[in-house]
């Protein structure tokens, strides 16, 4: 019979061997899988103190929003002088001026500092951020982001339709967003506090409902902000999302621009199936 010391030693060696095999297997899987997200997730986790701080959500949101707006702001100034740029403008006779952009920018900063930041601090205080060790698989990320977008599209459609059909809701909450008939990138978040909070709530709760990995959640937020800005950009570029998706499934900037122009159509923010089902779909080329 082995002594207790020998048995303990064998147990330790066995545990170490098992851990070694697990780590070795994990390392081999990372090398064999060409689309693994683990290295990227490890890079993100290295910034864990920042991500877990109460300042991160508002910095993330504002930085992403402004980064996506800046290229379109540049196009707005270039399109007045360069015909090659102007041809991609959906409403080529309407140009945003600096006087139109500044109030949108001021309101955006005000909302992020006075409204979004306190909300994110409260969320940080009550709910801790948990970053798992393992990254999700790429197919799962793509599925989660797609489902979050489809769910948000449905929620926004119902919210938007209701606020157009009920005059009190429109005048009290949604009318601010319709100040500009010809949209530009900075009008994306030019809205009332209620509209900003309610749509922000939909975007925040969907990854929770679908039990998404934090990486999927971050990617969804980025994609959602980008698509919202593109919707309001006023440009249909060769690489615009609506041109990349087949069969007219995605409306994009022409779809939403027409909503601001005609008012009583195209209530869904991204996809076209809900407007098609409810009979509120209008096509930009046939309407302008």
- Token pair for residue 150? 């489809």
Write the Ramachandran bin of 263: left for phi over 0, alpha for psi from -120 to 50, otherwise beta.
left
Is residue 288 within 8 A of residue 270, CB to CB? The reply is no
Residues 236-257, buried b or exposed e (16+ Cβ, 10 A)?
A: bbeebbbeeeeeeebbbbbbbb
Cβ-based burial of 271 (10 A; exposed 0-12, middle 13-18, buried ≥19): buried
**Closest CA relative to residue 236, chosen from 77, 79, 63:** 79
Give the residue ranges of the chain where pLDDT is below 50: 1-2, 4-5, 7-9, 11-12, 14, 16-32, 34, 286-288
Is residue 281 within 8 A of residue 266, CB to CB? The reply is yes
**Closest CA relative to residue 180, chosen from 284, 71, 263, 269:** 263
C-alpha distance from residue 159 to each of 7, 167, 267 (Å): 66, 13, 9
| pLDDT value for 21 | 46
| pLDDT value for 285 | 55
| pLDDT value for 18 | 43
Q: CA 109, CA 62: separation in Å to the nearest integer? A: 8
Helices (H), 53-95: 56-79, 83-86
| pLDDT value for 26 | 46
DSSP-assigned beta bridge partners for residue 213: none
Q: CA 123, CA 200: separation in Å to the nearest integer? A: 13
Is residue 260 within 8 A of residue 177, CB to CB? The reply is no
| pLDDT value for 54 | 87
Q: CA 250, CA 226: separation in Å to the nearest integer? A: 14
- Token pair for residue 268? 């869904």
- DSSP one-letter code for 136: P
- Token pair for residue 76? 């707005």
Is residue 68 within 8 A of residue 188, CB to CB? The reply is no
| pLDDT value for 192 | 94
pTM: 0.85
């Amino acid at each position: 019979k082995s002594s207790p010391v020998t048995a303990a030693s064998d147990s330790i060696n066995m545990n170490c061997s098992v851990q070694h095999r697990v780590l070795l297997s994990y390392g081999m899987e990372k090398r064999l899988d060409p689309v693994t997200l683990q290295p990227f997730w490890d890079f993100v986790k290295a910034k864990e103190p920042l991500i877990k701080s109460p300042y991160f959500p508002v910095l993330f949101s504002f930085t992403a929003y402004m980064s996506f707006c800046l290229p379109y702001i540049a196009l707005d100034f270039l399109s007045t002088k360069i015909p090659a740029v102007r041809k991609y403008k959906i409403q080529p006779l309407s140009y945003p001026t600096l006087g139109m952009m500044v109030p949108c920018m001021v309101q955006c900063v005000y909302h992020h500092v006075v409204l979004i930041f306190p909300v994110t601090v409260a969320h940080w205080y009550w709910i801790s951020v948990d970053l798992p060790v393992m990254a999700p698989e790429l197919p799962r990320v793509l599925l989660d982001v797609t489902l979050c977008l489809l769910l948000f599209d449905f929620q926004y459609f119902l919210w938007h339709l209701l606020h157009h059909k009920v005059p009190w809701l429109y005048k009290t909450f949604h009318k601010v967003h319709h100040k500009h008939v010809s949209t530009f990138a900075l009008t994306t978040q030019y809205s009332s506090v209620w509209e900003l909070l309610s749509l922000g709530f939909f975007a925040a709760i969907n990854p929770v409902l679908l039990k998404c990995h934090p990486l999927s959640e971050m990617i969804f937020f980025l994609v959602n902000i980008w698509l919202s800005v593109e919707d309001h950009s006023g440009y249909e570029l060769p690489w615009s999302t609506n041109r990349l998706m087949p069969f007219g499934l995605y409306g994009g900037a022409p779809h939403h621009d027409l909503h601001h122009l005609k008012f009583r159509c195209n209530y869904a923010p991204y996809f076209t199936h809900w407007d098609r089902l409810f009979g509120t779909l209008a096509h930009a080329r046939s309407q302008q």
